[in-house]
Chains A and B, each alone.
Chain A
Amino acid sequence: MSHIKIDGNKCKSCYLCMDVCPKKLIKKSEKIGKTGNCIVEFDDKNQECIGCAQCALVCPDMAIVEVYR
């Protein structure tokens, strides 16, 4: 099952990853991060992730730390 791992301590809530996920599996969470905004979370109830790693590639803060395919 493809999936990603997000490090909430590194996320700066820029939301660039949300735009590139082809399956729209990255969403704003309720948790407030270091910048005072909601950090993102991986929400893949239907196991749609294809492990393309595009989110990890665009994240400027290396907050998406691992991708498995």
Chain B
Amino acid sequence: MQQVYSIPKSIKQNSTFTFCPGCDHGLAIKLVAQVIDELELKENTIAVASSGCSVLLYDFLDVDCIESPHGRACAVATGIKRAHKAQGYNKFVFTYQGDGDFASIGLAESLHSALRGENITAICINNTNYGMTGGQLGPTTAMGQITTTSQSGRNKEYHGFPIKTAEHIALCEGTSFSARVALYDIKNIINAKKQIKKAFEYQKKGLGFSFVEILSTCPTNWKLTPQDSHKKIENELIKVYPLGIFKDIEND
């Protein structure tokens, strides 16, 4: 008999996630930690946390972390990557951001990092609302979706349309990889890890900006159980946000 599963080495021992019960943030961070372990990146990584529930990352991940102002994670990561490079160090730098952070307040920083082809990786948790601040409408809130600031549902006259982040990032010439994944069942969780790994490997190879959007749950603000939240993704949200790889310069 052998041990086939253990807590990733890149997770601080004895740490307990402080996310709400059933929140996909925990699962996403676990997958990131597994990939860091598999690629042996722990000692060379600098993670850039952002504002939102995603900021809690540095409480759990046992790598060097820095917190950036709301939305500016890709700009901070750019500085870290370039400053180290100028000194002869090739650090592995990635951001972990919410959808509000990446695609609303930080859209300029995010998109321009992709356009410049910064050799960094961004992981964006798309839970279709501003989780930490209480579930307000975000740039990714689906049409008709009820949030605390769209009480009768998102509508095009008042709120306009949601952003398809992974598709937009794929259009940038500096992007090496852009994919959208989900975590609602085992098959998708395994695929999500595979795409995160690919995005990290592309940075290691120096191919440019790599991006993974993770379609995630926010059971607390959606006011659903973790199970029903996953069903919402499977039955409703993947129609709005199709899963797949939108750019892959090694295979396109």
Chain A positions within 8 Å of B, measured between CB atoms, are: 1-2, 9-10, 12-16, 19-20, 35, 51, 53-54, 56-62, 64-69
**Nearest Cβ distance between residue B222 and chain A, in whole angstroms?**
14
A13 touching B21 by the CB < 8 A rule?
yes
Q: How far is the CA of A57 from the CA of B6 in the complex (A)?
A: 10
Q: Could you write out 29 A-B pairs with CB less than 8 Å apart? A: A1-B1, A10-B16, A13-B21, A15-B227, A16-B227, A16-B230, A53-B4, A53-B5, A57-B190, A58-B27, A58-B186, A58-B189, A60-B23, A60-B30, A60-B226, A61-B16, A61-B17, A61-B19, A62-B7, A62-B11, A62-B17, A65-B6, A65-B7, A66-B3, A66-B5, A66-B6, A67-B4, A68-B2, A68-B4
Q: How far is the CA of A15 from the CA of B1 in the complex (A)?
A: 27
A69 touching B2 by the CB < 8 A rule?
yes
Decide yes or no whether B25 CB sits under 8 A from chain A: yes
Instruction: For the complex of A and B, list the 3 residue pairs with the smallest distance between their C-beta atoms, beginning with the closest.
Output: A14-B22, A60-B26, A67-B5
A61 touching B2 by the CB < 8 A rule?
no
- Cβ contacts under 8 Å, B99 to chain A: none
Chain B positions within 8 Å of A, measured between CB atoms, are: 1-7, 11, 16-17, 19-27, 30, 186, 189-190, 226-227, 230
Interface-central residue, A35, A57, A59, A67, by most chain B CB under 10 Å: A57
Partner of B19, one of A2, A9, A60, A67: A60
B186 touching A54 by the CB < 8 A rule?
yes
Closest to A16 in B: B226
**Nearest Cβ distance between residue B215 and chain A, in whole angstroms?**
15
**Nearest Cβ distance between residue A67 and chain B, in whole angstroms?**
4
With contact pairs A1-B1, A57-B189, A58-B27 given, residues A14 and B16 touching in the complex (Cβ less than 8 Å)? no
B3 touching A16 by the CB < 8 A rule?
no
Q: How far is the CA of A69 from the CA of B4 in the complex (A)?
A: 6
Q: How far is the CA of A14 from the CA of B19 in the complex (A)?
A: 12
- Cβ contacts under 8 Å, B25 to chain A: 60
Closest to B193 in A: A57
B1 touching A60 by the CB < 8 A rule?
no
**Nearest Cβ distance between residue A12 and chain B, in whole angstroms?**
4
**Nearest Cβ distance between residue B218 and chain A, in whole angstroms?**
12
B24 touching A60 by the CB < 8 A rule?
yes
B21 touching A35 by the CB < 8 A rule?
yes
- Cβ contacts under 8 Å, B27 to chain A: 58-60
Closest to A1 in B: B1
- Cβ contacts under 8 Å, A15 to chain B: 226-227
**Nearest Cβ distance between residue B16 and chain A, in whole angstroms?**
5
- Cβ contacts under 8 Å, A51 to chain B: 4
B4 touching A19 by the CB < 8 A rule?
no
Closest to A18 in B: B227
Q: How far is the CA of A58 from the CA of B23 in the complex (A)?
A: 11
